Amino acid sequence: MPELPEVETIVRDLRPLLIERHFTHLTLSDQALRQPWQPEWSAQVLGGAIQSIRRRGKWMILNLASGRRLVVHLGMTGQLTVTSSALPLEDHTHLVFTLDGGLEQLRYRDIRRFGGITLYADEATTEAFLNDTLGPEPFDLNPATFQHGVQATARCLKAVLLDQHIVAGVGNIYADESLHTACLHPSQLGRATTSAECVRLQSAIVEVLTRAIERRGSSIRNYVGGSGLRGGYQEEFRAYGRTGQPCPRCDTAIEVVRLAGRSSHYCPRCQRTAS
DNA sequence: ACAGGATCCTGGGGGC
DNA sequence: TGCCCCCAGGATCCTG
């Protein structure tokens, strides 16, 4: 999916387009999403203004004046965009929220249907769900908490970074990029990782995500921002998707290995497992 | 308890 | 050209 930088970009794009606006109409596709939209929600989202929009991990939360929350996850191929109502609906568009005035729509499109939109009744139930699902945000991660999360497990670092309870928002791309920046091998075990390496890894995560947000995220295939613009961070990849190409640090060919069910790209020379 | 694999979907690319 | 297999930015459930 869109990982943290992509979701952050979408949230920033959508804010000026959606704040103080409200939905007047909603249409659904006949294909079920992983988290199916419940029929009774349709009437509940109409009429009340959108007061704020924020990101938590890879999730987006739209606060409605009624107190209800629209909670969005994009799965692997989700797109949430505001477009002119006059534009034809693209294939795989599953929810269309028409905005007041009727000229624009908020559209949720998701080819693989791994994502979805859920309506929560109030702030308390929304926060309970998010805090149960997610660990801390990378930008306010307590170093001791992170170190404990890494060192307490027998999983490899790649799996640790993909675990949303350890740090929220990192996915396959930014896990590979962070490990490369930190000079750590993706298959190194969490419990074999030193405290100094944890510090290095944490700074690498922050550095990589910050730069990726500046570039509006990475567009590999389906990702677009809230206004349909693509991202540019894919031009700065050091490891992800660069199998056989030279490591920008040492020129060694990048290799790929399958870990935690995901392809993991790394430099065999400058990302050596600690011995 | 924990780690790894299978699974939910569709589409695109490579190999034959 | 066509077909088949594998792969893809994620999260959850099941198994050993």
Q: Is A262 a catalytic residue?
A: yes
User: How far in angstroms lies nucleotide C9's C1' from the CA of residue A28?
Assistant: 25
Tally of CB atoms within 10 A around A194: 12
Closest Cα partner for A150 from A192, A186, A203, A190? A190
Q: Average pLDDT of A124-129?
A: 96
Rounded Cα distance between A193 and A87, Å, is 52
Q: What percent of chain A has pLDDT over 70?
A: 99
User: How far in angstroms lies nucleotide B6's C1' from the CA of residue A135?
Assistant: 25
Nucleotides of B under 7 A from a protein CB: 2-11
pLDDT in tens, A127-168: 999 999 999 999 999 999 999 999 999 999 999 999 999 999
Closest Cα partner for A169 from A198, A199, A140? A140
pLDDT at residue A275, rounded to an integer? 46
Tally of CB atoms within 10 A around A114: 16
Above 90 in pLDDT, residue A187?
A: yes
Closest nucleotide over all strands to A259 (CA to C1'): B4
User: How far in angstroms lies nucleotide B15's C1' from the CA of residue A171?
Assistant: 30
Rounded Cα distance between A97 and A100, Å, is 10
Rounded Cα distance between A190 and A173, Å, is 19
pLDDT at residue A274, rounded to an integer? 59
Q: Average pLDDT of A83-94?
A: 96
Give residue for tokens 């399958």.
A258
Of residues A100 and A220, more confidently modeled: A100
Above 80 in pLDDT, residue A222?
A: no
Backbone angles phi, psi at A254, to 5 degrees: -65, 140
Q: Is A186 a catalytic residue?
A: no
Does the predicted model carry a pTM greater than 0.95? yes
Q: What percent of chain A has pLDDT over 90?
A: 92
pLDDT at residue A229, rounded to an integer? 84
pLDDT at residue A209, rounded to an integer? 97
Please tell me which residue in A58, A69, A155, A242 is annotated as part of the active site: A58
Structure tokens at A255: 């290799």
